[in-house]
Each structure stands twice: as structure tokens, then as C-alpha cells.
Amino acid sequence: MELKGKTAVVTGVSKGIGLATVKFLLEKQANVAGWGRTAPKLDHPNFYFVPTDVSDFASVEKSLGQTKQQFVEGISVLINNAGLGFGGTLSDMPLDQWHQMFNTNVHGIFYCCKVIIPEMKKMGEGHIINISSIAGTNGIENMAGYCGTKHAVNGISHALFKEVRNDGIKVTCVNPGSVNTNFFDNFDSITTNEHMMRPEDIAASLINVLETHPNLLTSDLELRPLKPKG
């Protein structure tokens, strides 16, 4: 897809992978609606922040309305990036942390896809990228809840791409290993380091996937640091 002049919705844009992706999309001259709880420090004529809690369907519906008013030409790209994780053993995990992970990482993707897919179908074009994780293809000790959410994201993505491919809509599931962001603030046992991938590495890979030929679908993309221990 030629990104110039197209409208993209990116969720979770205050920092990390989401913010890096917004910046790369703006460099490609796309219009970007950032749906998030917290606004980024970013002032650009083609960027429009829409206060959104992706775990709340009413909030997501409202954001669609605001985005359509701002960018009338239709939404071509949805990057479901907003997400969070809590660590610890399953038996010690507080209920609210478990629910917050599923409400955001799984239900949030459902809500955003549910409102935006009809818009893409009207245009006969679209690309949805779901940011999953290698926790979506592996079991990781002390991350059972997070792994559960990301396995769900992989399963949803694989089913969805078959549902919408004949409408001209691509669905890509991206599975990154460790990225140096604030994601690990909730994990006492993990500290970020320079051997992790950089958020801009993930953003650049997303742009590559978006810019492929209309008949090429990258259904899954696994990204890893080459030397995670340096």
C-alpha cells in the first residue's frame, strides 16, 4: 500500500512501539489518528490524538466517530498496539491484573477491529496489524496470563485474515521478542537493556509490511534481537 495520504489508526501512542510507529507513518505522509489513554508529546499537522480506552467499547465507538470527522477519506490501516503485561505466578496473580490484561490485549483488539472493519470493507482496502508477542507462540514461566492474551491475539489474527481477505483487507500478526520500552515497568524480575530490540526497529518492520504489493500478505512476522545477551 502506498501510505501517502492514507489514514491510519494506531492504538497506544504515548510511548514505545506505538509512538515510534506513529512517527514512521507521519514520515511516509500518512494521516494518523492516535487512539490512546495518554497523549504523546507530538505536534504534527497530520497527527490527531483521540482519547481512547481500548478496553471500553463505548470509548472505541466514540473514537471512530471523531476520527471519521477529522479524516473523511476513510481508514486504511489499523495498528492494534495498545497492550500491557503483569508478571508472576498464575496462582498469585490478582484478579484485577488478569482482567486488565485480557480486557486490553484481547477485548481491545476485538473492539477496534469490530468498528473499523466495516469502514475498510466500504473502501475494499485495508490492513490490520495486531501486535502480539513471542509470548503468543510460546509458554513463558511467570507470564501465564500475558501468554494467554497473546495466544488469543494469534488465534484471532489467523481466523480474521481468512474472514476478510476477499474484502481486500490484510491481517498481519506480529510477534516481537523483547523490545526496550516501558512495558517491563510492571515486571520486577526484568530490567530493560540495550540488547533488546529498539521500538523503531519494530516500527520500521511494520512499515515494510504495510508497503508490500497488494497481493502479498504477511500473515505472521516474528522479530527477535540477534544477540539478546550481547
Ligand X SMILES: NC(=O)c1ccc[n+]([C@@H]2O[C@H](COP(=O)([O-])OP(=O)(O)OC[C@H]3O[C@@H](n4cnc5c(N)ncnc54)[C@H](OP(=O)(O)O)[C@@H]3O)[C@@H](O)[C@H]2O)c1
* Residues near ligand X, by CB under 6 A: 11-18, 36-38, 52-55, 81-85, 104, 131, 133, 176, 178-179, 181-183
Give the shortest CB-39-to-ligand X separation in angstroms.
9
Give the shortest CB-85-to-ligand X separation in angstroms.
6
Q: What is the number of other CB atoms lying within 10 angstroms of the CB of residue 72? A: 8
Indicate the residue among 3 and 17 with the shorter CB distance to ligand X.
17
- Crossing angle between the packed helical segments 16-27 and 199-210, to the nearest 10 degrees: 50
111 is catalytic: no
Catalytic residue among 23, 48, 111, 146: 146
132 is catalytic: yes
Indicate the residue among 97 and 125 with the shorter CB distance to ligand X.
97
What lies within 8 Å, CB to CB, of 28 at 6+ separation is: 3, 4, 207
The whole-angstrom separation of Cα 104 and Cα 69 is 25
Note whether 128 and 78 are within 8 A (CB).
yes
What residue ranges in 95-219 does DSSP mark as E strands? 126-131, 169-176
Give the shortest CB-215-to-ligand X separation in angstroms.
28
Task: Tell me the three cell numbers of residue 224.
Answer: 527477535
150 is catalytic: yes
Indicate the residue among 1 and 106 with the shorter CB distance to ligand X.
106
Catalogue the active-site residues.
14, 132, 146, 150
